[in-house]
C-alpha cells in the first residue's frame, strides 16, 4: 500500500483519487433517488468534497456547511446532470466551488457578526496555509488542493476540473509562482 500525505494524515493511494464511476446505471440510480446509490456516493465523495470546501473556505464549520449544501444541491439537480465522460465527483467539485464563491459573496454583503471563540479543530495548525491559499484564485486553489492535498496526478485533476492537462499545469504554475511571490514579500518584511 502506497501512502500519500493528506489533509488529516496519510491517505492510502488505493483510495486516491476518489472515483465515483459515472456508469450509466449508477447515474440512473441517482436520478431515481435510490437511497443506496446516494448513500454510496455520499460515503465515497464526502471526504473529497469536504476537503475541497475546507481548502476554499479555510474554516471547518463553513466547509461542513458547504459540503452539506453540495449534496443537497446534487440531489435537487441530479435530473439536470448529463454524463459527458467525467466522473460524478467532477460535478460535485464544481458545485462545491460554486457554493464557496456564493458564500464569499454573501459574506461581503453581510455585516460582520461577532462570534464566540471556537475550540481549535484539527486543521487549526493550517491557519497560515489557509491565509496563503485565500490569496489565490478559486481555480488555483482547486488545482493546488487536488494536486498537493489529495495527491492526484495532473491527468486526474484535468478530468475532475474539466480542463486540459496543459491548463491544469498552467494554473498550478501560476499558483506556485504567486505563492513564491508572497513568501518573498514576507521575507522582505
Per residue in 20-29, pLDDT (tens digit) is 344 456 888 8
- Residue 85 pLDDT exceeds 70: yes
pLDDT band of 15, cuts 50, 70, 90: very low
Amino acid 159: pLDDT: 87
Domain ranges of the chain: 3-188
What's the CA gap between 107 and 183, in Å, rounded?
27
Cell numbers standing for residue 159 = 478530468
Alpha-carbon separation of residue 56 from 39, 46, 76, 108, 126 (angstroms): 25, 15, 23, 15, 13
Cell numbers linked to 119: 475550540
For domain 3-188, give the fold: Butyryl-CoA Dehydrogenase, subunit A; domain 3 (1.20.140)
Per-residue pLDDT tens digits for 113-153: 555 445 455 566 666 777 788 888 888 888 988 898 888 89
pLDDT at 69 over 50: yes
The more confidently predicted of residues 113 and 167 is 167
Q: How much is the pTM? A: 0.61
Amino acid at each position: 500500500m502506497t501512502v500519500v500525505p493528506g489533509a488529516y494524515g496519510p491517505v492510502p493511494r488505493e483510495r486516491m483519487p476518489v472515483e465515483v464511476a459515472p456508469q450509466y446505471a449508477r447515474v440512473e440510480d441517482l436520478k431515481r433517488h435510490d437511497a443506496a446509490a446516494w448513500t454510496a456516493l455520499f460515503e465515497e465523495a464526502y471526504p473529497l468534497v469536504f476537503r475541497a470546501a475546507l481548502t476554499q473556505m479555510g474554516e471547518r464549520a463553513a466547509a461542513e456547511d458547504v459540503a452539506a449544501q453540495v449534496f443537497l444541491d446534487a440531489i435537487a439537480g441530479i435530473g439536470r446532470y448529463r454524463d459527458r465522460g467525467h466522473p460524478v465527483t467532477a460535478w460535485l467539485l464544481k458545485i462545491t466551488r460554486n457554493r464557496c464563491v456564493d458564500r464569499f459573496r454573501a459574506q461581503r454583503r453581510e455585516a460582520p457578526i461577532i462570534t464566540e471563540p471556537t475550540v481549535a479543530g484539527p486543521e487549526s495548525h493550517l491557519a497560515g496555509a489557509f491565509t496563503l491559499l485565500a490569496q489565490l484564485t478559486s481555480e488555483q486553489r482547486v488545482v493546488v488542493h487536488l494536486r498537493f492535498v489529495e495527491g492526484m496526478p495532473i491527468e486526474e485533476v484535468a478530468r475532475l476540473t474539466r480542463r486540459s492537462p496543459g491548463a491544469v499545469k498552467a494554473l498550478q504554475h501560476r499558483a506556485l509562482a504567486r505563492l513564491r511571490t508572497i513568501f518573498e514579500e514576507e521575507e522582505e518584511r
